[in-house]
Every structure is written in structure tokens, then in C-alpha cells.
Homo-oligomer: A and B are copies of this chain.
């Protein structure tokens, strides 16, 4: 089959790799119907975290089950499934606590599991899915082409935005600011609105993304950054910062922005992968009671809760996909996202 490998900075290639086969009785093999490129895939592509050797890449996919192992119970051949960005058994204490990303048997697409067995990655034609009963969520039916992008966001960005909102303590009546206008930040707006936030300030300088932010539920947009940006948000909210800030970038600047913007006693919900950022300023957090909660989003636990709204069209997170590429052209997808001519690239094998 064909699958994407990253060879080094700026160098992703679609190559022939072995077809996946069932390796354990808890495995399934899934034919990928749609995958995409994540902002975090760009860390390797940009050389921030280059791979030491050519490596399979991609961690978001939906598809159809082709084959299941003898011990797989919940997932059947022919099912349409959503695969979250981490592999989890669904039964260990951490999964039961809703922290599937800390699963005792957990693993990451494209990386070796706890026994050193390599997993496939998402940007390819087929994927061997370990712990299929725990990892996969079956959809009510096969989605049509119009629904497909929305469903695909359940694998990562919608659940990650939701995690940011929950981590920031967003509830009915909250005031919220969102740092980051990428796919995760935009989905954070959807999530905040869905949780009942009353004021949602999107921090964005990009007119297209500002428009999408408003469509998703942002009540206000602030283009300024830094202290000016924080002051603009505070002004909009009548002199006090928002109850919660969703930090959806992962840089030094974005975390500083979030902490500067949130009100005393408020919470930063952070889901941006920390990239060379500083440690958190504990003295400032102490004196202002600004909390920091979040991390790598356990999206597996959110899929069933978010799926009905996606399926019914009540939310349209798939609008974050503004370009579609064939798998063979995935290098163009990476380039477009790297150059920010594309918010999020959908990829069809």
C-alpha cells in the first residue's frame, strides 16, 4: 500500500510500504477513507523536532473496517469508524478516568507500542489498529461526502478544542478568549459555544479565520497581540479578563498571552503542544490565582458525546478544512499548511 513518510525537514514522501496485517487478536485493519495534516505534524516538517530516521506520519483518520482479530467484539467488518489520535484500551484505570492518552497499554500512531511493536500512521491507505475495541468509535452509518470532513474532526481538532474548553472550566455564562486561530482554536470556539459560553473573544489577525470564528460562535474578535491584545479583551469584557482562556498554539508567546489575558481566579485550558516554551511562571500564577489545566487531549472519551451534534449538523467543525489533496500530493498539503495558505488540509487516499 501507499503511505506517507517524513524523511526530514520539508521532506514528506508517499511510498510503498507493506500492507498491514492483523498482529494481535485485538487488532483491526481499517481502510482509510479520509485523513488530514495536523499543525503538530509541522513540528517535524519545520525541523523543530526532525525525525532521526524516515518515519510514518499522520494521526487522524476515519475509514471502514476491513478485517478484525478474533478478540474484537464491538467493531465489525464494514463498520465506519473514527480513530482518535491515540491508541487506548478503554478499560484501564486511566481510560476509566477519561485520560485515554495515559492508557496503560496506550500507543501513538507511527510509534512503537509498549511492547516495541510499530504502529501504522494515518496518512496512508490502510492502518492496523491496535486495541480496536478500545480505540475505535463506530458511527451510526457511513457518512456521505458532505458529512465526512465534520466527522474527521472528531479524530483530533474538535475533541482537542473541547478539551481546551473543559480544561478552562467553560460553562454556561462563561466569558472566554481563544488564543490561536488554527483548526484547534476554531474548534475551541465551537466547543465553548456548545458549553454555553456567553462571550467568546477570538484572537486572530486573519480575515478568513476571523470570519470562520464568528460563524462558529465568536461574539468578538481581537486582532492585537501581547499586552495590547490582553488590554483589548479586558476592555471588551467591561474591565475584567475572561473567566477562561483556551491556549491552542503551544508557543512561549501564546502561553504568555493566555496568562496575561485570563482574569484573576480564571483558568487557562492549554492544548497546544509545548514547543520550546518556557516553564510556567508559578509566582504569577500564585499571586493572581490563574490556573493552568490541560494537555494532550484524551479525545477518545469525547467522541461519543460530540458525535450526535456533528451527525445532526448542529456544529460544522469540518469547515476548518479549506483545501483537499490526494494522498499522492500530500507534500503539497504540508507545504500549504507550512506557508499558512491553508488552515487545515484534508487528504483522500
Give the size range of A's interface with the partner. 35 or more
Which residue of B is nearest A290, CB measured?
B295
A93 touches B240 (CB 8 A): yes
A236 within 8 A of B: no
B287 touches A296 (CB 8 A): yes
CB A184 to nearest CB in B, in angstroms, measures: 14
Q: A93-B240, A240-B97, A287-B295 are in contact. Are A265 and B102 (CB under 8 A)?
A: yes
B93 touches A265 (CB 8 A): no
Which residue of B is nearest A238, CB measured?
B93
Q: Which of A273-321 contact B (CB under 8 A)?
A: 273-274, 277-283, 285-296, 298
A280 touches B283 (CB 8 A): no
B279 touches A293 (CB 8 A): no
Contact with B along A254-283 (1 / 0, CB 8 A): 010000000111010010011001111111
A286 touches B298 (CB 8 A): no
A119 within 8 A of B: no
Q: In the bound complex, how far is the Cα of B170 from the Cα of A66, in angstroms?
A: 45
B279 touches A289 (CB 8 A): no
Contacts of A288 in B (CB 8 A): 102, 295
A101 within 8 A of B: yes
Q: In the bound complex, how far is the Cα of B286 from the Cα of A255, in angstroms?
A: 12
A255 touches B270 (CB 8 A): no
A98 within 8 A of B: yes
Contacts of A270 in B (CB 8 A): 282, 286
CB A38 to nearest CB in B, in angstroms, measures: 15
Q: In the bound complex, how far is the Cα of B253 from the Cα of A349, in angstroms?
A: 51
A94 within 8 A of B: yes
Q: A239-B93, A295-B288 are in contact. Are A98 and B255 (CB under 8 A)?
A: no
CB A230 to nearest CB in B, in angstroms, measures: 15
B282 touches A279 (CB 8 A): yes
CB A219 to nearest CB in B, in angstroms, measures: 19
User: Could you list some 21 contacts between A and B, CB below 8 A?
Assistant: A93-B238, A93-B239, A94-B263, A94-B264, A97-B263, A97-B265, A101-B264, A101-B289, A102-B264, A278-B282, A279-B281, A280-B280, A280-B282, A280-B285, A285-B292, A286-B295, A287-B295, A288-B295, A289-B294, A291-B294, A291-B295
> Which A residues contact B (CB, under 8 angstroms)?
93-94, 97-99, 101-102, 167, 238-240, 243, 255, 263-265, 267, 270, 273-274, 277-283, 285-296, 298
